[in-house]
Amino acid sequence: MLTSRNSRRIGIYAVTAVAGFALAATGCDSGSGSGSTPKTPTTSSSSSSSSSSSSSTDLSTAKVDKVGTVVTNAKGFVLYRFDKDTAKPPASNCTGDCAALWPPAVATGSSATVQGVDKSLVGTVTRADGTKQLTLAGWPLYTYAKDDRPREAHGQGVGGTWFAATPTGAKAQDGGDSSSSGGGGY
């Protein structure tokens, strides 16, 4: 049975949770290009001797129309890199609303299994919220919320800052909509 005291305590927890969420959402880079300080300096490289069964995060390659051979996640969705991030040292500058549209490729185990990608190029970076994000050649990796199916690359060239990642971590240069102003360039 809820007492007045328990109801008040639950209300306080709810207000605290909402306030925490609001503060976390304010960390989004507004896309002003002001060169903000990277928010995630902690990095690590994956160990090639780790068991591949310890992770459900797999990286492989796929040929995508108008883009070429790119890196995909375990579900076949194209992985992207963001020009406003840094590779040396690896740092993600996509948070808040940006991360909602460009969800980070989160490492769920101690080592990602790879196919068609040099495992020595795969690592992680610790995001501001404490999650481990996969990196390729130091570049943090993301999916794109507007890619509805595997092997779609609607994020290629968005805002002139988002590009599908090649197996070496470089930007895919073929095709894409570099003139897109759909608000997702950040």
Q: What is the 3-state secondary structure (H, E, C) of 1-67?
A: CCCHHHHHHHHHHHHHHHHHHHHHHCCCCCCCCCCCCCCCCCEEECCCCCCHHHCCCEEEEEEECCC
143/121 Cα distance (integer angstroms)? 18
pLDDT at 57: 47
In this structure, what DSSP letter does residue 180 have? Answer: -
pLDDT-based confidence at 112, cuts 50/70/90?
confident
Is the pLDDT confidence value at 56 over 80? no
pLDDT at 3: 52
Is the pLDDT confidence value at 73 over 80? yes
Identify which has the larger pLDDT, 69 or 109.
69
70/163 Cα distance (integer angstroms)? 10
pTM of the model: 0.68
Other residues' Cβ atoms within 10 Å of the Cβ of residue 130: 8
pLDDT one-digit tens code per residue, 176-185:
444 444 556 6
126/57 Cα distance (integer angstroms)? 16
pLDDT-based confidence at 88, cuts 50/70/90?
very high
pLDDT at 164: 99
How many separate domains does the chain show?
1
Interval 20-43 mean pLDDT? 38
Rounded to the nearest integer, the mean pLDDT of the chain is 76
pLDDT at 123: 95
Q: Which two tokens stand for residue 95?
A: 């948070």
pLDDT at 161: 98
Domain range for residue 157? Answer: 1-186
Other residues' Cβ atoms within 10 Å of the Cβ of residue 132: 22
Identify which has the larger pLDDT, 135 or 3.
135
51 CB-near residues (< 8 Å, 6+ apart):
110, 111
pLDDT one-digit tens code per residue, 126-169:
999 999 999 999 999 999 999 999 999 999 999 999 999 999 99
Distance linking the first and last C-alpha atoms of the chain? 48
pLDDT at 1: 53
Helices and strands of the chain, counted as H and E runs = 2, 11
102/127 Cα distance (integer angstroms)? 14
